[in-house]
Structure formats: C-alpha cells, structure tokens
Amino acid sequence: MYSTNHTAGSETSNVRVVDFRSDTVSLPTANMRKAIFEASVGDDVYGEDPTVKELERRSAELFGKEAALFVPTGTMANLLAIMVHCSKRGAEAIAGDLAHAFLYEQGGAAQIAGVQLSTIKNAPDGTFCLDELRTRFRGFDVHEPKTSLVMVENTHNICGGKVVPLQWLEDLAKICKQHSSKLHMDGARIFNAAEYLGVSVARIVRDVDSVCYCLSKGLACPAGSVLIGSADFIQEAHRLRKALGGGMRQVGFLAAAGLCALDEIVPKLGDDHKRTRKIAQAINDMNSSIISVDLENLHTNILLLKILSKKITSSDISTRFAQVFSKEIESEITDTQGRGICVKVSARDWAFTRIVMYTNITDEEVDLAIKKIKYVIKEYEQNIV
C-alpha cells in the first residue's frame, strides 16, 4: 500500500534504521512470543479453539456487544460487515472518500459482495457532513440502489490518526436509524481513539451496529483482526468468513498474541502518542518553509508532515530521510555507535509524508529520528531557493 524506501544511493551501509512507515511493521513483544508458544489450541472451524473463543469473548465484553469473530485481516472484517449488512446484491453503502475501505481494499465491496460504495467528502478531522448524508439515502425510487449501510473510520488513517467526536457519532447513528440503515465502524486503531478521549472502547461504539479492530497494527500482533456486533450479525459473518477463505484451524497461536496485546500493549498506547507529539513539536519549533505539522490537531500515533514547497514531493522527502551520506557522519548525525540514521516514512502521491508510531519504537530512536529529520529539513531549506 505504501512505498518502501531503503538506503538506495547512500554512501554507507553502516546505518541505524528507524522505521516509521506504518505500525503494521510492529513486532511481537517477548511476552507475546511466549504466549504464542504456550497457547492452547484446537480446530477453530469446529469452534474448538479455546484461545480464539476467549479472545472473542473478551473482545465482545470490552466493546459492550453480544459476540465477536476472529478474522485474518481488517480488510476481511470490513468486507464481512458489508456483506452481512448489505445482504442483497446491488445494495449501496456510504463511506468517506478518504476511507480505507474505499481507497485501499481493492473494491472488494463491488468485486466480491456486489455492493456499490457511494462516497461523501471527508473533512480534515475524519468526519463528513451529516446534512449532506441526510440527502444521500436512496432506494425509494425503482431506479435506485437501496442504501443499507454507512461506514465510518476511527481513528481516521489518511486524515492523520484523527479521532472523530463522540457527539458526531451519536448524531450519525440517529440519522442512520431514521433511514433504517446500519452503521459500521472501521476501528482498526480504535484503542488509540479510546486513549485520546479517555473513555472505553464500549463508549465509542455504543451506537454502532458493528465494529472491527486490528491486532497487527499498533497492538504488535503478527496477524488478525476482530469483528464485533450482535449475536445474529456474528453468526452470519462466521458463515460468510468460510466463503472468503477465512476458516482457520489452530489459530489460537495468533489469538494468544491478541489476548497478550489487550493486557500489555493497549495500556501503553499513550506512550506512542507522546513520542509522536515529541517529533511533531521538534518539527513545529523549526518554523520551516519546507515542511509543517498541525501540532494543535495531532491526536494519536499518526503524524502528517505537510510539504509546503512545490519544488519537492513527498517521495523526495521520504527518499532523502532514508539515505545516509558521509557528510552526515562528519556532522555527527549518528547514533552512539557512529552509525548514520536512516528514517523510513510513508509516501505516495500525497502532499505529505506520514510517520506512524508503535510500541517497538524507543525514546532513543525518537531522538535519533528528530536529529535526522531536522538535518534534512535544514538541508532542503539551504538548497531550495
């Protein structure tokens, strides 16, 4: 999904890599590896894996819903929600135009489920206009598809890890009920939202019909997501999971990592937010004419570095962050062992580059990244007229 920048063109291979491309590159902790190794397992297709059943039970309880289902990926979780809520082919679901389910899940709603996605413009804070939404429900005319579902993302990925307001969610849910439409939340990073708001995940999803969260992003698990909703919803999602190839056997090894993450990683998500803000503050204090950050509206573990100059692109910046040249070593842009610093960030055809924090990143690595980022920004400022 995102470009991978190595140290191509660098003059030295002796580097210290700090990888901010995504929290998907996070690695299991020592406790998590131990839990995986010692997990009790069974055949999950038969409903006999005790560790999967415990993760599902605990997830449903945490989110205040009736049932949950372990699935391989967040993409499958979102697709299952679409398939259950839009049970008739030719139905319509509404999503933000910057939603992950619309941009980066290969059109699975149309390709597999036979559901048309209709988009509504996302605001910078991850919300969309509710007045416009009221006009978008269809199905009253024989020529139209029936709008059966509205999807919302929280935290919002492309909007920079924004947490959508609770009041907005409440108002959104009321509109959906008025139009007999279901509401699904792509909550890949919902625990980050709960940390930012200082409330439980159950409070955030109180008014939605279904929600999913990802284990393999900021929660550092090797794979997996959990889909949550009513008992009837999960029963149908369980059936459809088999059709999508998501029927797994001794998957308790992965579920054990998820249980560990709920105990070990979730309580520490605030540290990721603080480290993200430290980088943002350092860039903001530079008052650069090349790169800026929106420090005031930084919510969670995703930081967008906005490119201000038309003479450079996000790919230019990301490539340069990842390169190490001898002049940097001479200027002591190094770690304590004298190694150059390679900082990996995400870049596409965006007007920004993206930094994502996760549990494996240390305070030392944050300081090293700040040193390198500031050096590169100053370099650009000197060379771009």
Question: Measured between alpha carbons, how far is 192 from 311 in angstroms, rounded to an integer?
Answer: 35
Question: Measured between alpha carbons, how far is 48 from 40 in angstroms, rounded to an integer?
Answer: 10
For the record, the structure tokens of 66 come out as: 């009736």
Q: Is this model's pTM higher than 0.95 or not?
A: no
- Give residue-wise pLDDT tens across range 247-295: 999 999 999 999 999 999 999 999 999 999 999 999 999 999 999 999 9
For the record, the structure tokens of 226 come out as: 């959990």
* Residue 173 binned pLDDT confidence (cut-offs 50, 70, 90): very high
Domains of the chain: 15-26+268-383 (3.90.1150.10), 30-264 (3.40.640.10)
**Would you say residue 374 has pLDDT above 70?**
yes
How confident is the model at residue 292, as a pLDDT? 96
* Residue 384 binned pLDDT confidence (cut-offs 50, 70, 90): confident
DSSP H helices in 217-334: 231-243, 252-264, 269-284, 314-322, 326-330
How many CB atoms neighbour CB 66 within 10 A? Answer: 14
Kindly report the average pLDDT of the chain as a whole number: 94
Q: What percent of the chain has pLDDT over 90?
A: 92
How confident is the model at residue 349, as a pLDDT? 74
How many CB atoms neighbour CB 223 within 10 A? Answer: 16
Look at residues 332, 312, 313, 315 and name the one whose alpha carbon lies nearest to residue 324.
Answer: 332
Q: What share of the chain is helix, strand, coil (3-state, %, to 5)?
A: 40, 15, 40
Cα 372 to Cα 22, 211, 280, distances in angstroms: 18, 39, 14
How many CB atoms neighbour CB 232 within 10 A? Answer: 11
Q: What one-character-per-residue DSSP string does 154-172 give?
A: SSBTTTTSBPPPHHHHHHH
How many CB atoms neighbour CB 130 within 10 A? Answer: 13
Assign 60 to helix, strand or coil: helix
- Give residue-wise pLDDT tens across range 115-170: 999 999 999 999 999 999 999 999 888 999 999 999 999 999 999 999 999 999 99
Question: Measured between alpha carbons, how far is 67 from 77 in angstroms, rounded to an integer?
Answer: 14
CB 191 within 8 A of CB 269: yes
Max Cα distance, the chain (Å): 72
Length of the chain, in residues: 385
Average pLDDT over residues 100-122: 96
* Residue 14 binned pLDDT confidence (cut-offs 50, 70, 90): confident
Question: Measured between alpha carbons, how far is 7 from 319 in angstroms, rounded to an integer?
Answer: 8
Residue 354: DSSP 8-state: E
How confident is the model at residue 10, as a pLDDT? 53
Give the full edge-to-edge strand order of the sheet including 302-307: 291-292, 302-307, 352-356
Question: Measured between alpha carbons, how far is 291 from 155 in angstroms, rounded to an integer?
Answer: 24
Establish whether the linkage from the previous residue to 336 is cis, with ω within 30° of 0: no
